[in-house]
Amino acid sequence: MTTQTPPSGTPAAEIAVDAALAGRLLAAQHPDLADRPIRFLASGWDNAIFRLGDDLLLRLPQRAVGARLIAHEQRWLPVLKDRLPLDIPAPVRIGEPGEGFPWPWSITPWLEGETADLAPPDDDQGEALAGFFRALHVPAPDAAPHNPLRGVPLAERAFVFDDRLRKLSGRTDLVTPAIHAIWADALAAPDDAAPTWIQGDPHPRNVLVRGGRLSAVIDWGDMARGDRASDLAAVWMLLPRARTRTRAVAALPEVSAATWRRARGWAVLYGLMLLDAGLADDPRMAAIGAWTLERLQDGP
- Residue 185 three-state SS: helix
In a domain, 272, yes or no: yes
Chain center to CA of 103: 22
pLDDT band at 295 (very low <50, low <70, confident <90, very high): very high
In a domain, 11, yes or no: no
Judge contact between 149 and 159, C-beta under 8 A: no
Boundary of a domain, candidates 45, 80, 110: 110
pLDDT band at 1 (very low <50, low <70, confident <90, very high): very low
Is 276 found in the same domain as 182?
Answer: yes
In a domain, 13, yes or no: no
Tell whether the model's pLDDT for residue 282 goes beyond 60: yes
In a domain, 125, yes or no: yes
Is 122 found in the same domain as 105?
Answer: no
Is 58 found in the same domain as 33?
Answer: yes
pTM of the full structure: 0.94
Domain that holds residue 166: 115-298
What percent helix, strand, coil does the chain show, rounded to 5? 45, 15, 40
User: How many C-alpha atoms does 22 have within 13 Å on its Cβ side?
Assistant: 28
CATH number at residue 61: 3.30.200.20
Is 241 found in the same domain as 106?
Answer: no
Phi, psi of 156, rounded to the nearest 5 degrees: -70, -15
Is 149 found in the same domain as 85?
Answer: no
In a domain, 139, yes or no: yes
The CA-atom distances, in angstroms, between 80 and each of 55, 73, 140, 201, 238 are: 21, 10, 10, 16, 22
What's the rounded Cα separation, in Å, for the pair 267 and 261? Answer: 10
Is 101 found in the same domain as 146?
Answer: no
pLDDT per residue as tens digits for the range 244-277: 999 999 999 999 999 999 999 999 999 999 999 9
Boundary of a domain, candidates 85, 110, 135: 110
In the prediction, which pLDDT does 6 show? Answer: 53
CATH number at residue 174: 3.90.1200.10
Tell whether the model's pLDDT for residue 149 goes beyond 70: yes
Is 252 found in the same domain as 191?
Answer: yes
In the prediction, which pLDDT does 5 show? Answer: 54
Across 161-172, average pLDDT: 96
What's the rounded Cα separation, in Å, for the pair 58 and 24? Answer: 13
Is 223 found in the same domain as 165?
Answer: yes
pLDDT band at 43 (very low <50, low <70, confident <90, very high): confident
In a domain, 3, yes or no: no
In the prediction, which pLDDT does 62 show? Answer: 95
Tell whether the model's pLDDT for residue 174 goes beyond 50: yes
In a domain, 184, yes or no: yes
What's the rounded Cα separation, in Å, for the pair 166 and 174? Answer: 13
- Residue 98 three-state SS: strand
Is 101 found in the same domain as 80?
Answer: yes
**Going along the chain, which residue ranges are E strands?**
38-43, 47-52, 56-61, 93-95, 105-109, 114-115, 196-198, 207-210, 213-217, 224-226
In the prediction, which pLDDT does 11 show? Answer: 78
257-281 vs 177-188: helix axis angle to the nearest 10?
Answer: 130
pLDDT band at 141 (very low <50, low <70, confident <90, very high): very high
Is 101 found in the same domain as 123?
Answer: no
In a domain, 203, yes or no: yes
Tell whether the model's pLDDT for residue 300 goes beyond 70: yes
Is 262 found in the same domain as 124?
Answer: yes
Is 188 found in the same domain as 93?
Answer: no
pLDDT per residue as tens digits for the range 75-123: 999 999 999 999 999 999 999 999 999 999 999 999 999 999 999 999 9
Helices (H) and strands (E) in the chain, counts: 10, 10
Total of domains in the chain: 2
pLDDT per residue as tens digits for the range 5-22: 555 667 788 999 999 999
